[in-house]
Amino acid sequence: MSSNRALLRDNKHAVEKEQVLKLIRAIVEVGTVRRDSETKNGPGTIPISEAVMRAVVAVAEHPEDPFRLICIQTLAEICKRPFPVCPTRSI
């Protein structure tokens, strides 16, 4: 199942949503890709698809979702990174 579908499922699938959020946070933390991988110079990107970002935003906007605060924190961490989000097909 794709990560954006997992995030949009109801709260009966809380374990699955938690695992998807852990994966997204791990990608943000260590998955930042530098454009010039040999010299580690130049701006990099965070390889997360637009659909996944939209799913995280949708959860963050839903006041009754128990994962709302962690999604807000994840979005804040993505925004404070000096790298733009790179649109990819999937994470």
**pLDDT tens-digit map of 8-49:** 666 677 888 888 899 888 888 776 665 555 555 555 677 788
pLDDT at 28: 81
Q: Is the dihedral of CA 65, 69, 73, 76 positive or negative?
A: positive
| CA–CA dist 83, 80 (Å, integer) | 9
Domain ranges of the chain: 3-86
| CA–CA dist 52, 28 (Å, integer) | 12
User: What are the residue ranges of helices labelled H in the chain?
Assistant: 3-7, 14-30, 50-61, 68-80
Residue 35 and residue 83 in contact, taking contact as beta carbons nearer than 8 Å: no
Q: How many CB atoms lie within 10 A of CB 18?
A: 14
pLDDT, mean over the chain: 76
**pLDDT tops 70 at residue 59:** yes
